[in-house]
A and B are shown apart, each in its own frame.
Chain A
Amino acid sequence: MPANGPDTVDAVVREALAAYEDLQATAEAVDDEWMYIQDLTAAHRARLEAIAAEDGDARIDVAVGVAVTAACAEIRRITDPHRAIDWLSTFPSIVAVALGREP
């Protein structure tokens, strides 16, 4: 992991939410699902924010920071909006699992 990579739960969640916002923008190209996308992202964003609020200052293992950075890179490769919608569900759970939570 780069020396300046995320090293707390709060930093990891902030990095994840920034990437998640980009993924949401990709997904919103599917006009018919716009409202679903808003509701879906709100639900998952709230969960990640709750994790940060609960454990934000906790230090993380280097492997967790690497994991979330790699997951962020993975979703930034997605250009297909339909696949992006699918990943709006998958990605937050990956972050949660990396942080030792249930999906």
Chain B
Amino acid sequence: MRFQDAAKDARAIVYAGIQADPLVAQVAAGLCDAPPSVILLARAVMSGESDDEATWRAIFPTLLGPLADQAAREAAERVVGPALRIAAKGASVRDQYRGAVVEELTALLLSRRTAAVRRERRVLFDGVPAEIHPYDVTVEEPGRPEVYDCKWGARGIGDDVLHQLDDARSHAADDDVTLPVALVVLDTARSCAVRLDRTYAPRDGTAVVTLETIGALARSAPAPGGPGGSES
């Protein structure tokens, strides 16, 4: 197996501009060490109707209000401003920004354990037709590759992406390469589990990473499986 840059079509060129916006990096950097509750805050702000910071401070009293401890407040303060600036962009544009944030966060976390993180790459196997869609994030360590696709929400989980990830994993196995594949979803485990229950695509060999578990990407490749429902 080998990796290859994706073709630069017009959509990719426009999207590359969004990926390169410092605002995306700022939000993602703020989320790298954030607890799940702060990731939820960013998720809410970036997809909310209100662009008034005071509203979000009221909605999250345990992060930005009178019930917040210092650590939670500091983490939340790092992301609320940049997230609001993304929210202020037009509806269609901010959809793309949100996707770029998930990808950037994934890449940043992976870069804490490897320098071989790449973006928008295809995976090629001899004798196998190449997939049209590139993978959002890859780790291209010799002998220890990893492949990631990223989604903003549970609704983005579909048969197509699960098949693509599983195909990559199985084709790699045919080449005697162990290829961890994962779907990173910036949504709750509970919602992802509901979505996954509705798919018949193969996923036993795919890891599903959620906002509760995304931080662990910095430590190791995620094991196949998940998400499990969290307790109340």
Contacts and interface: CB of A to CB of B under 8 A. Distances in A.
B60 A97 contact: yes
Interface string B213-232: 00000000000000001111
Contacts of B65: 63, 67
Interface string A87-99: 1111001101110
A96 to B, nearest CB: 7
B232 A101 contact: yes
B59 A89 contact: no
Contacts of A74: 48-50, 55, 59
B153 interface: yes
B113 interface: no
B40 A98 contact: no
B154 interface: yes
A36 B155 contact: yes
A51 interface: yes
Interface string B53-76: 001001111110111000000000
Interface residues of B, number: 40
Contact of A61 (B44, B59, B66): B66
B188 A89 contact: yes
Interface string A62-95: 0110110011001001101001011111100110
A66 B57 CA distance: 10
B62 A94 contact: no
Contact of A93 (B61, B188, B195): B188
A71 B229 CA distance: 23
Contacts of A103: 36-37, 39-40, 188, 211-212, 230
Contact of A70 (B55, B230, B232): B55
A86 B188 contact: no
20 contacts: A40-B195, A43-B193, A43-B194, A43-B229, A47-B232, A66-B61, A67-B60, A67-B65, A70-B58, A70-B59, A74-B48, A74-B59, A80-B91, A87-B47, A88-B191, A90-B47, A93-B40, A98-B61, A101-B232, A103-B230
Interface of A: 33, 35-36, 39-40, 43-44, 47, 50-51, 54, 61, 63-64, 66-67, 70-71, 74, 77-78, 80, 83, 85-90, 93-94, 96-98, 100-103
Interface of B: 36-37, 39-40, 43-44, 47-50, 55, 58-63, 65-67, 91, 152-155, 187-188, 190-191, 193-195, 197-198, 211-212, 229-232
Given A70-B59, A74-B59, 14 more contacts: A36-B195, A39-B197, A39-B198, A40-B195, A43-B193, A70-B58, A74-B48, A74-B50, A89-B188, A96-B232, A98-B60, A100-B67, A101-B232, A103-B39
